[in-house]
Amino acid sequence: MEKLIIEGGRPLEGRICVSGSKNAALPILMASLAVDGPVTYTNVPRLRDIHTTLRLLEILGCTAYFDGDSVKVETCDLVPEAPYDLVKTMRASVLCLGPLLARLGEARVSLPGGCAIGSRPVDLHLRGLEQMGATFDLEAGYIHGRCERLHGAHIQFDFPTVGGTENLLMAAALAEGETILTNAAREPEVVDLANFLIACGAKISGHGTSIITVQGVEKLIGCDYRIMPDRIEAGTYMCAAAMTDGQLELTNCTLQDLEAVDAKLREMGVEIREAENSIFVSRGPDLHGADVVTLPYPGFPTDMQAQIMALMCVSRGSGMIKETIFENRFMHVQELRRMGANITLDGRTAVVRGIKQLTGAPVMASDLRASASLVLAGLAAAGKTEVLRIYHLDRGYEKIEEKLSAVGARIRRVKY
């Protein structure tokens, strides 16, 4: 096992290059299952989940590998079964359901199950695919789907599910006829997937709005595609600059997909300036609390909730955070309290009363963004913080200790 040791209290100054987006890369890599011919991807982050996805694609009958800075994927002899061993380590695996059904008329995918942050059901994915002609059985923990060629349908989501919209988009791209997705997710990562499918020859319009229309085509062809920047990694480092009283320039990103985070940080007093393809962030003279509600895009992202909580812990006054997306995404609260944070929790609402400085402590990461909040807290805290179980962090942050060390943090990874 590995842990991070952080000697906190040092302002971060300099430039960090933001990596490609994990949450865009995972569905887009999975979409290669729907494509005939080779695809070359750039700006793919080297993360644990990406390596897992490449392994899964190989098991499903593709060649899939890093070739220098790019990733090459080509479908060869597709196999319909995504095994439990891989799916249990990465929920995004369920995104192979749509493209496999569209391409093979069959998919047998281990049911992903919940995780630390919530139950994470996939009923809306299955209901939509059923409307397109698939039938499903549950067999020994696997969802077994079968269909003739999928057909277009009008699918009204009960909730603008990100994964559900992505699965249905991939299926609809190859279905017969027109599919209309209403109350669809509008997240930038969904738009990136739609743009990738369009680059492969799909006929999609309305992506980025809540009504997406897809005219199915017979076949998708390979292309070269650059994955969008990771808006959540960028937001995390924006918090790091403010919390450590530092000044960071974040390159390879824009504020375009970060409106809600940008607005909330500015409301809290953080100074933010945008240049071409980069963002400058510093603390500002009066950092203070604010109220945050997590919502589907364009609302404040649940994936930034833990990080903004860490920032509020060291801001003047108090703030309230309501988590509406996942029922159990407050696992970081207990750990932040161990560092002196003043947080009270009532169901899905947390009240944070800012203190002058956190104190370093050994803390345990429970999930990806909780881990990020503990690293942020450690960077701002007086003394030494040890963050245990950082395998969660490695799912979502490329070279985190290298990037932070380069801007002045004292942070190192050790085995234990």
Ligand X SMILES: C=C(OP(=O)(O)O)C(=O)O
Site of interaction with ligand X (CB under 6 A)? 23, 91-92, 303, 368-369, 396
Pairwise CA distance, residues 32 & 42, whole Å: 14
Annotated catalytic residue, options 115, 147, 200, 223: 115
The entry of ligand UD1, ligand X, none that residue 229 binds, CB within 5 to 8 Å by partner kind: none
Q: Which residue is nearest to ligand X, using beta carbons?
A: 303
Query: Among candidates 187, 163, 167, 164, which has minimal Cα distance to 175?
Result: 167
The tokens for 173 are 């791209």
Q: Using the rule CB under 6 A, is 164 a contact of ligand UD1?
A: yes
Of 2, 52, 15, 5, the C-alpha closest to 279 is 15
Give the CA distances from residue 313 to residues 8, 308, 350, 351, 374, in Å, rounded to whole numbers and listed in that order. Answer: 15, 9, 11, 10, 11
Q: Closest approach of Cβ 258 to ligand UD1, in Å?
A: 13
Find out whether 22 is annotated in a ligand binding site.
yes
Is 163 a residue that touches ligand UD1 (CB under 6 A)? yes
Q: Is 337 annotated as a binding residue?
A: no
CA angle 184, 186, 191 (to 5 degrees): 110
112 lies in the binding site for ligand UD1 (CB under 6 A): no
Q: Nearer Cβ to ligand X, position 133 or 163?
A: 163
- Residue 250 tokens, joined: 């974040």
346 is in an annotated binding site: no
Q: Cβ 326 to ligand UD1, closest distance in Å? A: 6
Amino acid at the residue 189: E
Binding partner of residue 123 among ligand X, ligand UD1, none, CB cut-off 5 to 8 Å per kind: ligand UD1
Stretch that binds ligand UD1, among 103-111, 116-124, 371-379, 408-416 (CB under 6 A): 116-124
124 is in an annotated binding site: yes
Question: Can 115 be counted among the known catalytic residues?
Answer: yes
* Residue 318 Cβ vs ligand UD1, minimum distance, rounded to whole Å: 25
Q: In the structure encoding, which two tokens stand for residue 130, read together?
A: 């059923």
Please list, in sequence order, all residues whose beta carbon lies within 8 angstroms of the beta carbon of residue 303, skipping any fewer than 6 positions away.
23, 232, 369
Exposed, middle or buried by CB within 10 Å (0-12, 13-18, 19+), for 239? buried
**Omega into 298 within 30° of 0, i.e. cis?**
yes
133 binds, among ligand X, ligand UD1, none (CB under 5 to 8 A by kind): none
Q: Helix, strand or coil for residue 347? A: coil
Residues within the annotated binding site for UDP-N-acetyl-alpha-D-glucosamine? 91, 120-124, 303, 325
Binding positions for ligand UD1, rule: CB under 6 A:
23, 118, 120-125, 159, 161-164, 187, 296, 301-303, 325-326
Please give the positions annotated as active site. 115
